[in-house]
């Protein structure tokens, strides 16, 4: 399949490729890294993950009223 060329002779796909290649890369700043969890136990990790999951489920409940109703 060939893509239609615009007035400058460049296709949409070529424009997108050029756009993403020229995008500046955003890398996280290493000075702001959080290394506090490196020495946590498996139990602490599991507890933290369960808390996060509970928060996500609560947000979903508030986002979609009636989502916990049974479907017919």
Annotate 7-43 with DSSP letters as a single string.
TTS-BHHHHHHHHHHTSPP----GGG---GGGG--HH
Q: How far is CA 68 from the centre of its chain?
A: 25
Query: Mean pLDDT across the chain, nearest whole number?
Result: 80
Could you report the per-residue pLDDT of 34-66, keeping only the tens digit for each?
777 788 899 999 999 999 999 999 988 877 666
Residue 21 has pLDDT above 60, yes or no: yes
Report yes or no on whether pTM surpasses 0.85.
Answer: no
- Token pair listed for 16: 């997108």
Residue 4 pLDDT > 70: no
Distance CA 15, CA 37 (A): 43
């Amino acid at each position: 399949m060939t893509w239609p060329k615009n007035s400058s002779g460049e296709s949409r796909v070529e424009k997108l490729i050029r756009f993403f290649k020229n995008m500046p890369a955003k890398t996280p700043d290493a000075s702001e890294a959080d290394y506090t969890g490196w020495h946590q136990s498996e139990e602490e990790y599991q507890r933290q993950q369960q808390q996060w999951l509970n928060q996500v489920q609560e947000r979903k409940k508030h986002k979609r009223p009636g989502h916990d109703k049974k479907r017919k």
